[in-house]
Amino acid sequence: MNQEILRQMKDIHLPEDPSWWPLAPGWWWLLGMVIMLSCVGLVLRYRYRQRSQTVSSGRDSCSQWVQQQKQALQILETWDQILSRQPERSREILGQLSRLMKRLALDHPCAQYDVAGLTGWAWLQWLDRHHDKKGVFASALGDYWICSCLTEHNPPQHDQDMALIHACRDWIQKQAVQEGS
């Protein structure tokens, strides 16, 4: 009888290997974490690159500012010489002086965005706020500057013209000292 029972026995059939698809919930969770961490890494890398570009462009803008500053000082020296020889060009030079100072203020690495819209007394007060000698521009000198740029009836005054050019030169040079400290 044992023999007959043994003959009726068949080999053990192993179940099929489990398929890799569909994934078990643990694998889905792991895949989601990898995707999320990759996205976070990409965002952090993007921010780091943006920050490093801002710092390097800040350095570039500082070197550009120094170049513009040197050019502005050379221009002021030229205008100083022109006014010494041709005082009748006072109105033209004072108008250009105003544009030069505005351009320098706008291009300054630490410039505030409110500079672009300033005119008249507000502009002169802004220059005074960023100068160590308070009240240089918002004084009779600034009044002369505004009047000579806006009206044709204001006769040129050589002393005032030269004082204004020297005040602007002093302002530009003081910005370099403040930038270096």
- Alpha-carbon distances, residue 96 vs 15, 146, 171 (angstroms): 92, 12, 16
User: So what's the pLDDT on residue 54?
Assistant: 61
Range among 50-64, 85-99, 127-141 rated most confident = 85-99
Which of 51-55, 121-125, 132-136, 162-166 bottoms out in mean pLDDT, i.e. has the lowest? 51-55
- Range among 32-36, 80-84, 114-118 rated most confident: 32-36
Query: pLDDT tens digit string along 1-16?
Result: 688 888 888 888 888 8
Residues 6 or more apart from 131 whose CB is under 8 A from it? Answer: 137, 170, 171, 174
**For tokens 């007959």, what's the residue?**
4
pTM of the model as a whole: 0.59
Each residue's pLDDT tens digit, 53-91: 765 555 566 677 788 889 999 999 998 898 888 888 888
Is the dihedral angle over the CA atoms 71, 63, 171, 142 positive or is it negative?
positive
Check whether 166 has a pLDDT greater than 60. yes
Q: How far apart are CA 142 and CA 30, in angstroms?
A: 70
Residue percentage of the chain with pLDDT more than 90: 16
Q: What is the mean pLDDT of residues 147-171?
A: 79
Residues 140 and 167: their CA atoms lie apart, in Å, by: 13
pLDDT, residue 179, reads 46
Domain boundaries, the chain: 60-180
The one-character DSSP state at 156 is -
